[in-house]
Amino acid sequence: MIREFLQPETLQEALAMKEQHGDQAVYMASGARLNAAPTKTDKTIAISLSRLGLQGIVQTDKGWELGALTTLQQVIDSPELPEGLREAAALIFSRNMRNQITLGGEIAANLKACQVVPALLAMDAEVEVAEGGCMTVEAWQQKPYGLITKVIIPASVDYCRSEKVVKSCAGLPIVSVSLAVNVKDGKQQFGIALAGVAEKAIRLHDVEALLADQELQGREAIEEAVGKSVFPETDFLGSAEYKRHLSSVLVGLLVEEFNGRSN
Amino acid sequence: MEIVFTLNGKQKAIQAEAGENVQVLLKRLGMRAVRNSDDGYGFAGSDTILLDGCSVNASLLIAAQLDGREVVTPESLNEYGKLSPVQSALIDAGVIQSGYNDPALALLITDLFKRSPNPTKAEITDVMSSIFLRESAYQQVFDAVDIARQRLSDPEYVATSVPSFAGENRQVGKPGGKVDAARSIKAEPCFVEDFVAPDACVLKMLRSPHAHAYITRIDTSEAEGMPGVVAVFDHRNCPDVYYTPGGQTAPEPSPLDRRMFGQKVRHYGDRVAAVVAETEEQAEAALKTIKVEYEVLKPVLSIKEAMAEDAPVVHNGVISYSVGAPDDLDEQNKTSDLRDGKIHFNFPFGGDPKKNIAARGHGEIGDIEQGFAEADMILERTYQSRQSQQLPPEQHLCYTYMEGDRIVVRAATQVPWHVRRKIAIVLGLKQHKVHVIKERLGGGFGSKQDILVEEVCAFATHTTGRPVLFRHTREEEFIATSTRHVAEIDIKMGAKKDGTITAFDVNFRFNTGPYGNHALTVPCNAPAISLPLYPCPNVRFKVDTYYSNIVPTGAYQGYGGPKGNFAVQMIVAEMADALGIDHLEMIEKNRVREGQMLDLLGKVGEGKLPSKVPTAYSCALGPILEQGAAGFGWGTPKEEPENPHIKIGRGIATMQQKSGIPDIDQANAWVKLASDGTLIVHSGGADIGTGLDTVVAKLTAEVLCTELADIHVISGDTDHCLFDKGAYASSGTCFSGNAARLAAEDLCSKVLKAAAHLLEEPVEELIVEYPGVVRGSKGSISFGEIAHYAESGTGCGQLMGQGSFITSEFAFPYGANFAEVAVDTRTGKVSLRKFHALLDCGTPINPELALGQIYGASMRAIGHTLQEAIQYDDQGHVVNANFADYGAPMVGDLPEDFQAILVPSDDPVGPYGAKSVSEISVNAAAPAIASAIHDATGVWVRDWHITPEKMLNALKEEVL
């Protein structure tokens, strides 16, 4: 249970507090995950980020820069943002939850069935951390470091769509897939990410490379490649075989849909 | 720490632990509407508040986060003596049943109007994404928002969207008047949780981590010495009394196989020990110190495993009978293990615990062999279904305290009199020392027909003298309450080429889990609620119910109906397909008709057989099928989807239920005339949110020609009302309603007699007229004047009518579901495009509530069909014991086109032609959807729930 709730006014204060309290303390954005029963924190000190001014959405040369405490509902309610990002934010079914869950918090929570992270991975989104520097969401996810202050959606994102299959609309996705296309130097770069097939959301770099090199012709080839790249486990949501099948089908559908749009 | 925040417009400074859960904190501050349904999973939205103008779940916040913030709760909508436009609209549209989550819904909709004065359907759906509405199930909220929108600009706006029935009646069949709706939408004290004293102790339960095990050692000594701990109970210090949790009329047709705590645990989550402490934290801390050693046994997890020759015996205790013991009882008991305790049968109903059989039944009419000989085609199929949970938004809970030497039990129960009886038996008390007060229920659906928390809570209070609250967590709801039975059904059917059904032969196998509550009656309702839809001269059925180590089962709305009806409707559909006959034509050719004797039902009972062969006195199935087919577009071309992997299909299924249990159950009521001529009804009936108190009030008003507002109903209180069997078996309207009608008629005759004296006219020449007046040829006199005379020093005494209702006759409601699905053949996902539910409940006494019952039950059935099931690992542990993982339906699971339609009939058994409405609508969704899936894909899915993976596998098997 949280016994102490610290409310720093500056990033420096926040970092100092974390330095002081170490593993006993946790940064708290909105608490949507840290206070929720299935993911409740066992830390005793919360360092609140609410007074650090980590809200706001601006467009820069880099792309869209969203404060880490931007909620998913704020993303949805910002029509100027890329449609694929807004669609991914809407994958969380409950509006109450979308009003509380923050982008930064969701990346930091790094949950198996996180529904917005695959889109961020696929888009090559980056995070900025208070300790200095930027890194991709994927890099952060593999080696969490620092206090996320900002999420950056690259200006190169040209396309992003997400699909999921669920047993019930508010249940965890059996598999969730995002496909993004970045255009850099006139070249299309595919980003494919999935949730539900590993402990964390994953990106399929090998399949992306095959797509970029146009080595996968037709939906069946794409599905086969995806099937060889994911190694899900059986759980109450579905068998490993079914999840692999869904991964293949959903990626195939999204690529087919993108190609249809391009043509 | 000190926290300063704004609560409903007023600044508040409080002291709280930084990490205190905000839902708990707001409850502590008197915000009753901020409720807990999901223990902080962020699913149900019962705890919705606005934080700085945005809706969030209070349970996902800690107290420190409120500092400097603005909090708005549903209480902000309340104005004394008035309803807000949104609150009144929710009532008028029929959304309010128990009202447990509805204050939160009202807050969400009010907030929506601030953002969008003319909300679209998508915006309304988005708002409802935050809230779990298990009872009325979302659909009527769209109407409510429209009513509220109009009422916001015109406060006098009167809703006209709800249909009206029963011609000249003033109250019966007319919309409006739910007597408890204003209280519940305003979150006034009405649920058990609203009455718990601040100093009440808390009972927490240590539960078994094993599905099947003996407790070989238990050490509670450390727990007993923990701070705040008042008592610790386990199998060593609880009453040595065996009972059934099933809240049924005595002698119960269920094995008495439950002890408060046993040395053997029979399911994951079974009771091991209880700690009573002064706070929840103290109780939980003490639970962790209890040391238990187990001898783990092989669990029995399926019917097949239970039937095996070498199956572990779930109940290997000493067997006894009140009457009718078998000759070999001593032989049977030779192999008993004392650690298994005892198992008692009030009378024989086929139980054979050594073979894991809890109950058996059978019946036959006609000549089954001849029936199959006459058939041109015979089909044999096996159908299966899974275990689903009722999911009442309010968890099971009970609050008990002593008043002198009497124990008061504030219970969220469907069966207050059965609770009183069982508590008296378990505690060794006489019944007049037990006072059960049924508060409003936040949903029951059958799960609160069983005594699952009350007896242990009462024991804790009676032993310690302390007030005690025992409330299940949501996880305990999944692992330790009564769920829907698992069933496997072998069915054989014969039919002629023209579709005439010649014979049914059905073998029903049910899995009752660890205890046998309803082990006979749920399975026997499977044939009783399905086969009479197709009266056929040659029918044979057999029912076997098996013990196992899955989590407990029991009563769930529909009882055995959904299971049995799936098999019967599906094989009729398969036969129609095999014979090349339109499914609807096949149904029409063979269906039950008004006035028909239902011979088979003379062979199926609930502990005893009916005293006469039942008759379908009223049946509107004909108009239902005709109207339903036309409205649904049954014969019209289906849409051609753009994507070739999407397949569209249509299906239909019919359904029936009963309206109480004739020759077994009874209901009673008083109606008394107050001094000014108003009326107070004391109804034994247990309104569980379905509107029974309103039924009682309307019937009384109709008989006595008074305003509804002049009637007050007291119900479900064992001290202040007369006996009633309780709310189950769809008995409320027919039994409790008829008791109220009879009481009103009795009072009416007494009023006329007194009026005759005062008007000096013969009784025969007097009539009762609206509004509460007796008129004769010489003049008239008001009820108030009559009451004044009756209570005067020269009067006849206060006038009161009494009604007691029993019957040997049945009142069967009928209905049909039409479904259109889209099946994604790549993913297996089944989407429900259209779902039309038509229902003949006789005269719908409360039309908007009847529609809400249909929507709610249909949605539950849709959930069971496509997404809901309790799942286990191979050791019998439940692996999805929360709303989201279980697959609880939310607004996004609603059919795209969802309609509930009332098609009335006039029944002679029910009051004013009314029949039951609540349960029946869970009975036909599964076969209607499965038939539609076949129409779409050519695949018969015979095992539900039909998950995307199961659907995809079925498609693959078809290809192979």
What is the 3-state composition of chain A as percent helix, strand, coil, each rounded to the nearest 5? 35, 25, 35
Mean pLDDT of chain B: 96
pLDDT on residue B533: 98
- From residue B523, alpha-carbon distances to A161, A223, B447, B489, B611 in Å are 48, 46, 16, 11, 21
Model confidence at A261: pLDDT above 90? no
Taking only the tens place, the pLDDT of each residue in A57-94 is: 999 999 999 999 999 999 999 999 999 999 999 999 99
Q: Which residues contact residue B77 at a Cβ distance below 8 angstroms, ignoring those fewer than 6 apart?
A: B84, B86, B87, B103, B106, B107, B110, B186
> What does DSSP say about strands B773-775 and B767-769: parallel, antiparallel, or unpaired?
antiparallel
Using DSSP's 3-state secondary structure scheme, residue B461 falls into helix
Q: Which of A31, A71, A165 sits opposite B60 (nearest CB)?
A: A31
Assess if CATH 3.90.1170.50 describes domain B201-351: yes
Taking only the tens place, the pLDDT of each residue in B148-171 is: 999 999 999 999 889 999 889 999
Q: How far apart are CA B879 and CA B550, in angstroms?
A: 12
Q: Which of B19, B57, B949 sits opposite A2 (nearest CB)?
A: B19
pLDDT on residue B609: 85
Taking only the tens place, the pLDDT of each residue in B23-77 is: 999 999 999 999 999 999 999 999 999 999 999 999 999 999 999 999 999 999 9
Domains B85-162 and B557-657+812-959 share a fold: no
Domain range annotation of chain B: 2-77, 85-162, 201-351, 557-657+812-959, 667-805
Minimal Cα–Cα distance from A4 to chain B, Å? 6
The answer to the question of residue A30 being in a domain is: yes
Q: Give the range of the structural domain holding residue A15, as residue numbers without chain letter.
A: 1-51
H helix runs in B803-902, sequence order: 847-866, 883-886
The answer to the question of residue A47 being in a domain is: yes
Q: Which residue has the higher pLDDT, B342 or B609?
A: B342
Q: Which of B17, B55, B885 sits opposite A99 (nearest CB)?
A: B55
Q: How far apart are CA B535 and CA B598, in angstroms?
A: 7
Q: Mean pLDDT, to the nearest integer, of B703-717?
A: 97
pLDDT on residue B809: 94
Compute the CA torsion angle A28, A32, A34, A40 (nearest 10 deg): 170
Q: How far is CA B657 from the centre of its chain?
A: 14
End-to-end CA distance of chain A: give it in Å, rounded: 55
Which residue is listed with tokens 């707001």? B26
pLDDT on residue A262: 62
Find the residue in A nearest to B891 (Cα). Answer: A169
- From residue B277, alpha-carbon distances to A1, B120, B224, B280, B456 in Å are 20, 50, 10, 7, 14
| CB contacts, 8 Å: A93 with chain B | 129, 890, 892
* Fold of domain B557-657+812-959: Aldehyde Oxidoreductase; domain 4 (3.30.365)
Taking only the tens place, the pLDDT of each residue in B873-920 is: 999 999 999 999 999 999 999 999 999 999 999 999 999 999 999 899
Q: Mean pLDDT, to the nearest integer, of B472-479?
A: 98
Could A95 and B127 be called an inter-chain contact, meaning their C-beta atoms sit closer than 8 Å?
Answer: yes
Q: Of A10, A32, A51, which residue sits at a domain end?
A: A51
| CB contacts, 8 Å: B949 with chain A | 174, 238-239, 242
pLDDT on residue B166: 81
Query: Whose CA is closest to B384, among B143, B126, B570, B556?
Result: B570
Specify which residues B820 forms β-bridges with: B650, B834
Model confidence at A7: pLDDT above 70? yes
Taking only the tens place, the pLDDT of each residue in B559-568 is: 999 999 999 9
CATH architecture under which domain B667-805 falls: 2-Layer Sandwich (3.30)
pLDDT on residue A215: 84
The answer to the question of residue A168 being in a domain is: yes
pLDDT on residue B574: 98
Could B60 and A36 be called an inter-chain contact, meaning their C-beta atoms sit closer than 8 Å?
Answer: yes
CATH number of the domain that A46 lies in?
A: 3.30.43
Could A95 and B18 be called an inter-chain contact, meaning their C-beta atoms sit closer than 8 Å?
Answer: no
Taking only the tens place, the pLDDT of each residue in A189-246 is: 999 999 999 999 999 999 999 998 888 888 999 999 999 999 999 999 999 999 999 9
Specify which residues B775 forms β-bridges with: B767, B780
The answer to the question of residue A80 being in a domain is: no
Taking only the tens place, the pLDDT of each residue in B517-575 is: 999 999 999 999 999 999 999 999 999 999 999 999 999 999 999 999 999 999 999 99
The answer to the question of residue A232 being in a domain is: yes
Q: Mean pLDDT, to the nearest integer, of A7-24?
A: 97
pTM of the model as a whole: 0.97
Q: How many CA atoms lie less than 13 Å away from B168 in the CB half-sphere?
A: 3
Assess if CATH 2.40.37.10 describes domain B85-162: no
Could you give the percent of chain B with pLDDT greater than 70? 100
CATH number of the domain that A236 lies in?
A: 3.30.390.50
CATH architecture under which domain B2-77 falls: Roll (3.10)
Q: How many beta-carbon pairs under 8 angstroms link A with B? A: 140
Domain total of chain A: 2
List the structure tokens of B335.
């192999």
Query: Whose CA is closest to B919, among B732, B727, B730?
Result: B730
A170 near B CB under 8 A: yes
Model confidence at B960: pLDDT above 70? no
